[in-house]
Structure 1
Amino acid sequence: MNIRPLEKRDLPHIYRQKNSRSVMALWFEEPYNSFDELTLLYDRHVLDQTERRFVIEKDNAFAGVVELMEINTIHRHAEIQIIIDSKYQGHGLAQAGMKAGIEYGFNVLNLHKIYLFVDAENAAAIHIYKKLGFQEEGCLKQHFFAEGEYHDSYMMGLFSADFRAKQKVTVKAD
C-alpha cells in the first residue's frame, strides 16, 4: 500500500465514489456530483491549507482516499475521513490508510488531536478506529441524515501522545 497526494488525474475515481449513494451515506454526504462540479471543487481546494487529501494505492491502482479536513493550526486538530473502493475492502487498506493519514497529521502537521465521526451502527469501522487508538468521546443522537433516515454518530478522538505510546508498544511487541 502507498499513499500520495490527490491529483487531478484521480478525479474520475473520486467521481465514481461521490456518485455512489451507499459510499456517500457512510460519509453522511449527498451523492450525485457532476464531473464539472468536482473539477471546480478540486481547483478551488487544491491550495486550501485546511485540508489534505491522499490517494491510497495498491499495486499502483487507485484503492481509496484518506483525508484530513478542517485542519486547525491554532488548536492543532483535524477531522479524518476514509473511503476504500469496494473491490479493495477486506484487505486491511482501511487500517493502513488511516494509520498513514494519522502519522502525516501528527508527524508532519504537528497536530495534537485527530477526530472523526462514524455511524453508530458501523461496527466494522468502529473496530478499526479502536484498533488505531481512537476513543469514543460522545454520541450525537440522530445527527446525520442518510439513506432516508437519521443516524446516531459517534465522535471519536485520538491524541498524538496516545498514538505514539501505542506505536511504541506495538514496535516492542514485534
Structure 2
Amino acid sequence: MNIRPLEKKDLPHIYRQKNSRSVMALWFEEPYNSFDELSLLYDRHVLDQTERRFVIEKNGDFAGVVELMEINTIHRHAEIQIIIDSKFQGHGLAQAGMQAGIEYGFNVLNLHKIYLYVDVDNAAAVHIYQKIGFQTEGCLKQHFYAEGEYHDSYMMGLFAKDFRKSVKVPVKADEKA
C-alpha cells in the first residue's frame, strides 16, 4: 500500500465514489456531483491549506482516498475521513490508509489531535478506528441525515502522544531527557 497526493488525473475515481449514494451516506454527504463540478472543486481546493487529500494505492491501482479536513493550525487538530473502493475492501487498506493519514497529520503537520465522525451502526469502521487507538468522545444524536433518516454518530478522537505510544515511535537521541 502507498499513499500519494490526490491529483487531477484521479478525478474519474473520485467521481465514481461521489456518485454512489451508499458511499456518500457513510460520509454523511450528499451524493451526485457532475464531473465539471468536481473539476471546479478540485481547482478551487488544490491550494487550500485546511485540507490534505491522499490517494491510497495498491500495486499502482487507485484503491481509495484518505483526507485530513478542517485542519486548524491554531488548535492543531483536524478531521480525518477515508473511503476504500469496494473491490479493495477487506484487504486491510482502511486501517493502513488511516494510519498513513494519521502519521502525516501528526509527524508532518504537527497536529495535536485528529478526530472523526462515524455512524454508530457502522460497527466495522468503529472497530478499525478503536484498533488504531481512537477513543469515543461522545455520541451526537440524530446529527447527520443520510438515506432518508437521521443517524446518531460517534465523535472519536486520537491524540498524537497516544498514537506515538501505540506505534512505538523511537525517541530520537536529542529528545531523551
TM-score normalised by structure 2 residue count: 0.95
Give the root-mean-square deviation of aligned CA atoms.
0.7
Shift of residue 134 of structure 1?
A: 0.1
Equivalent pairs counted in the alignment come to: 169
Aligned runs of 1:61-72 on 2, under 5 Å? 61-72=61-72
SS at match of 2:24: helix
Q: CA deviation at 1:168?
A: 1.3
Distance 2:20 2:168 in 1: 39
Say yes or no: does 1:6 pair with 2:12: no
Report the counterpart of residue 32 of structure 2 in structure 1.
32
Give the 3-state SS of the residue equivalent to 1:124 in structure 2.
helix
The alpha carbon displacement at 1:37 in A equals 0.2
In 1: Cα distance, 2:149 partner to 2:4 partner: 35
Identical-pair percentage? 88
What corresponds to 1:156 in structure 2?
Answer: 156
> 2:168, 2:77 → 1: CA distance?
22
Moved over 2 A (4+): none
TM-score, normalization: structure 1? 0.96
Give the gaps of 5 or more residues in structure 2.
170-177
Could you report, residue by residue, the CA deviation over 1:127-163 in whole angstroms, capped at 9, with x for unpaired residues? 0000000000000000000001000000000000000
Distance 1:27 1:95 in 2: 17
Structure 1 CA distance, aligned partners of 2:140 and 2:132?
A: 22
Structure 1 unaligned segments of length 5 or more: list them. Answer: 170-174
